[in-house]
Amino acid sequence: MPAANILVSETPLVLYALRRADDALILGHRLSEWCGHAPMLEEDMALSNIALDLIGQARELYTYAAKAEGKDNDEDKLAYLRDVRQYRNLLLVEQPNGDFAQTLVRQFFYSAFADLYWRAMMASCDTTLAAVAAKSEKESAYHLRHASEWIIRLGDGTDESHARAQSAIDHLWAFTGEMFTVDDGERALIHAGIAIDPGTLRGRWLATLSDVVSEATLTLPQNDWMQQGGRAGRHSEHLGHLLSELQSMQRTFPGQAW
């Protein structure tokens, strides 16, 4: 029989770890879809390696979430046996790859935030989260540098590459505001010194984006309206299709081991 959904006790700490783990897992899976399809061999390897970094982050965070919950869930169950509404990732990371420009703009927006976020989280009073942050920041710094170089190359390249990059920025911009929102549970963790307030990172995030986008001869939208919902389990139709592929083996053959 197909595996049933698990139940998770979503205390503030568990939910906090799951949100960051889900971000990494879903974006890692999206990038893995480029394996064998990237425009050049070197980029095929680069995107695959970034995907592996993100999935490694997800594993550490899922393991920590399972430990914090204190039940019989583990990283595999949390990754593969939750219903779509139980995923709390950003809407940004579940958006389809689209063309190469859209993939790189999505990565640029996320990595510019993640680099600042993990660097700040190194000061967390939670030693496990601080250790995850120390490792993740080194990876996210490379992810940001890689994406930034491509944004400049695409924006300041041909007329077509410029148009595609600008179209991707315009399309994905509305999904970026969710990175800086918090709810009451997360706010309590911030007050306790466990988490950091992402809202304090927005100015530096915008400065990073502005510098790169300006060099790329592109422009950032001025629209302040933002999509919301992923953190609360309200997702686009894209996540369900992604999870059907991601979870297919575990759902069909539950508990199998290599």
Which tokens belong to 249? Answer: 């083996």
Q: What angle do CA 75, 78, 80 make, to 5 degrees?
A: 100
Q: What is the mean pLDDT of residues 150-173?
A: 98
List, for residues 7-42, the tens digit of each pLDDT value: 899 999 999 999 999 999 999 999 999 999 888 888
Which tokens belong to 240? Answer: 């369900």
d(CA 3, CA 152): 45
Q: What is the mean pLDDT of residues 82-87?
A: 96
Taking CA atoms, 14 is separated from 133, 158, 173, 201, in Å, by: 16, 46, 29, 23
d(CA 181, CA 167): 25
d(CA 49, CA 103): 15
Taking CA atoms, 191 is separated from 10, 65, 112, 117, 140, in Å, by: 19, 20, 24, 16, 25
List, for residues 181-238, the tens digit of each pLDDT value: 999 999 999 999 999 999 999 999 999 999 999 999 999 999 899 999 999 999 999 9
Taking CA atoms, 227 is separated from 45, 151, 230, in Å, by: 32, 23, 9
- By 3-state DSSP, what share of the chain in percent is helix, strand and coil, each rounded to 5? 70, 0, 30
d(CA 121, CA 129): 7
Tokens 């899922």 sit at which residue? 62
Query: Rounded to two decimals, what is the model's pTM?
Result: 0.96
Is 80 exceeded by the pLDDT of residue 1?
no
| Predicted local confidence at residue 121, as pLDDT | 98
Overall size of the chain counted in residues: 258
Based on the number of CB atoms within 10 Å of its own CB, is 37 exposed (0-12), middle (13-18) or buried (19 or more)? Answer: exposed
